[in-house]
């Protein structure tokens, strides 16, 4: 039998190795764990991450949880075939009885034949729970949530008139609900007013009307809820601007607003919509008729805003009506995202960007009228850009002789789905030599020649995506592994054999 001093020495040794291995990339832990039982035990204790439980892993769940005591998240695969009719409660009891001090998130979504009513334990460390898309989820299950998960701060549900069961858990700060029944509006105000600390509310509604927004506004206003982020998605009804304006008037401390499917919004609505949002830091609107006129109203009315996302809008439609002599300038805006703005052209984009001199991130996916000329001008004139998204843009019109400057701050470049050529790719990566994440997926025109030049130019590259790059030869992967040691993830081109053994700490896959 080992002496106490020997056991103490071994424990101390394992602690030391734990400290040493914690400085390594987590991708290296797997190979180390194969060398000895001691390293296997040490690396298991260093795994702070998520485990997905499937039909197969459920059979040895206790062993799995014992092996990884520092799990932070557990997710169930959809529709697990539990061998026992009470399988979900057995699973929850097993997890709750395991010593998992860092478990903060539990995802039980899409379990079609199970509820929680048979569970009698407690999850004291859990902060986030997802019970969405569970058809058998009942009022009794809802009443159980505050008892079984007393310290929740975020809950995701799909429900109609079942929400009152959560009212006992007034400590919730974040709530996501998918609503499909119209009659839920009647109880909504009373329901929401119980969450005195609610800061984030996300609602996906189907077939609701302005009464729905009025109920939310009444709940927020009457209970003085400290709502800082509000997300509303409605796929079947267009809320009126007066209903939205009334709602926003009740959200006195709102900082982030995300509204989807507001097709009827035109420029004249912008000033009225934003008049009570001086403290807004993030605005996301999808499917509006807002043009650049509305964009400049946002800059005027929201002086501290840092992020503006206008997806599927009409930017570029009324540029000739803009008074360029009185354009506002907002030095706080750091992120602009304009996906699917089919009217946006180079001229309008340059005017918009000029109003945001401290811009750091620009995303223009599927803006088909934007050319490489505007991209070059922006990179040349604004030296704070760190992220540039040009997915599915038409970049064949690059003037290669215009790349006579440096873009040293650019760290992430997304060219996926674009028609960029080898020559243009080489030119843009030559001026942006510090790019760490390069997405070239579905770039049909590039070959291994352009990829190799880009990899040589980007000396700090860590991630490259070559998925669906049909003209890129498979052997470029082996070359990249040797030539660019900073790489940590490679999404290989279609011809690459994923069965090959790639070392040097690289992860090679066909998924991004």
Segment 349-360, tens digit of pLDDT? 999 999 999 999
481: domain CATH number is: 3.80.10.10
**What pLDDT is stored for residue 414 in this prediction?**
98
DSSP state of 77: P
DSSP state of 52: E
Q: Cβ distance 361 to 338 under 8 Å?
A: no
Most confident of 254-258, 273-277, 287-291: 254-258
Is residue 74, in this structure, part of any structural domain at all? no
Q: Cβ distance 305 to 281 under 8 Å?
A: yes
Domain count within the chain: 1
Bridge partner residues of 234 (DSSP): 205
Mean per-residue pLDDT, 219-243: 81
Q: How many Å apart are CA 170 and CA 158, to the nearest integer?
A: 19
Q: How many Å apart are CA 295 and CA 61, to the nearest integer?
A: 53
Bridge partner residues of 75 (DSSP): 52, 107
How many residues make up the chain in this entry?
Answer: 512
Alpha helix positions (H), 98-229:
139-148, 185-192, 210-223
Mean per-residue pLDDT, 357-371: 96
Q: How many Å apart are CA 338 and CA 484, to the nearest integer?
A: 33
DSSP E strand stretches across 305-386: 307-311, 335-337, 361-363
Mean per-residue pLDDT, 207-222: 78
Q: Cβ distance 261 to 235 under 8 Å?
A: yes
Is residue 159, in this structure, part of any structural domain at all? no
Is residue 125, in this structure, part of any structural domain at all? no
**HSE-up (13 A, CA, CB side) for residue 9:** 5
Cα pseudo-dihedral 503, 505, 511, 512, rounded to 10: -150
CA distances from 344 to 263, 365, 368 (A): 18, 11, 8
Domain housing 489: 371-512
Mean pLDDT of the chain: 81
Is 377 exposed, middle or buried, given 0-12, 13-18 or 19+ CB atoms closer than 10 A? middle
Residues 6+ apart with CB under 8 A from 136: 111, 112, 113, 114, 115
**418-457: buried (b, 16+ CB within 10 Å) or exposed (e) per residue?**
bbbbbebbbbbbbbbbbbbbbbbbbbebbbbbbbbbbbbb
CA distances from 495 to 140, 376, 399, 422, 443 (A): 53, 33, 31, 19, 15
Is residue 415, in this structure, part of any structural domain at all? yes
Q: Is the pLDDT of residue 118 over 60?
A: yes
Is residue 289, in this structure, part of any structural domain at all? no
Is residue 451, in this structure, part of any structural domain at all? yes
Express as a percent the part of the chain with pLDDT over 70: 78
Residue 6 confidence class, pLDDT cut points 50, 70, 90? very low
**187-207: buried (b, 16+ CB within 10 Å) or exposed (e) per residue?**
ebbbbbbbbeebbbbbbbbee
Q: Is the pLDDT of residue 242 over 70?
A: yes
Cα pseudo-dihedral 406, 411, 416, 419, rounded to 10: 0
Q: Cβ distance 398 to 422 under 8 Å?
A: no
**What pLDDT is stored for residue 43 in this prediction?**
55
Q: How many Å apart are CA 345 and CA 288, to the nearest integer?
A: 18
| Residue 451 or residue 291, greater confidence | 451
**What pLDDT is stored for residue 144 in this prediction?**
76
Is residue 401, in this structure, part of any structural domain at all? yes
Quick one: which of 232, 236, 196 has its CA closest to 213? 232
Question: Can you tell me whether residue 292 is helix, strand or coil?
Answer: helix
Is residue 488, in this structure, part of any structural domain at all? yes
Q: Cβ distance 85 to 78 under 8 Å?
A: no
């Amino acid at each position: 039998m080992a002496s106490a001093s020997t056991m103490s020495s071994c424990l101390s040794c394992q602690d030391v190795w734990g400290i040493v291995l914690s400085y390594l990339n987590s991708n290296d832990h797997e190979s180390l764990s194969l060398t000895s039982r001691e390293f296997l035990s040490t690396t298991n204790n260093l795994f702070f991450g998520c485990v997905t439980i499937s039909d197969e892993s459920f059979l040895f769940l206790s062993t799995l949880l014992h092996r990884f005591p520092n799990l932070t998240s557990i997710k169930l695969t959809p529709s697990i075939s539990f061998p026992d009719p009470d399988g979900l409660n057995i699973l929850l009891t097993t997890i709750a009885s395991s010593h998992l001090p860092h478990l903060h998130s539990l995802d039980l979504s899409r379990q079609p034949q199970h509820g929680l009513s048979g569970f009698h334990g407690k999850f004291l460390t859990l902060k986030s729970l997802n019970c969405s898309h569970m058809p058998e989820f009942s009022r009794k299950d809802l009443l159980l949530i505050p008892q079984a998960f007393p310290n929740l701060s975020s809950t995701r549900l799909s429900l109609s008139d079942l929400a009152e069961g959560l009212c006992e858990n007034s400590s919730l700060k974040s709530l996501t609900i998918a609503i499909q029944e119209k009659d839920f509006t009647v109880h909504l105000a009373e329901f929401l007013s119980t969450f005195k600390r609610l800061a984030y509310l996300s609602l996906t509604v189907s077939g609701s009307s302005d009464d729905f927004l009025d109920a939310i506004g009444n709940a927020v206003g009457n209970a003085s809820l400290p709502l800082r982020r509000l997300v509303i998605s409605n796929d079947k009804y267009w809320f009126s601007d007066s209903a939205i304006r009334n709602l926003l008037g009740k959200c006195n401390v709102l900082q982030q607003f995300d509204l989807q499917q507001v097709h009827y919004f035109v420029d004249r609505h912008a000033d009225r919509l934003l008049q009570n949002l001086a403290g807004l830091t993030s605005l996301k609107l999808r499917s509006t008729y807002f043009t650049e006129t509305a964009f400049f109203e946002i800059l005027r009315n929201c002086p501290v805003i840092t992020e503006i996302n206008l997806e599927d809008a009409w930017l570029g439609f009324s540029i000739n009506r803009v008074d360029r002599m009185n354009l506002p300038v907002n030095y706080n805006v750091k992120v602009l995202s304009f996906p699917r703005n089919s009217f946006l052209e180079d001229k309008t984009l340059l005017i918009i960007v000029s109003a945001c001199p401290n811009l750091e991130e620009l995303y223009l996916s599927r803006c088909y009228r934007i050319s490489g000329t505007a991209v070059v001008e922006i990179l040349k004139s604004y030296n704070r850009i760190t992220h540039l998204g040009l997915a599915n843009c038409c970049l064949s019109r690059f003037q290669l002789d215009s790349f006579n400057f440096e873009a040293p701050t650019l760290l992430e470049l997304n060219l996926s789905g674009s028609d960029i050529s080898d020559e243009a790719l080489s030119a843009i990566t030559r001026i942006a030599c510090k790019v760490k994440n390069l997405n070239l997926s579905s770039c049909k025109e590039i070959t291994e020649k352009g990829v190799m030049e880009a990899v040589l130019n980007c000396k700090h590259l860590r991630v490259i995506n070559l998925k669906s790059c049909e003209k890129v030869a498979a052997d470029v992967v082996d070359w990249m592994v040797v030539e660019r040691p900073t790489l940590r993830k490679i999404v290989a081109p279609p011809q690459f054999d994923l069965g090959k053994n790639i070392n040097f700490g690289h992860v090679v896959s066909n998924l991004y």
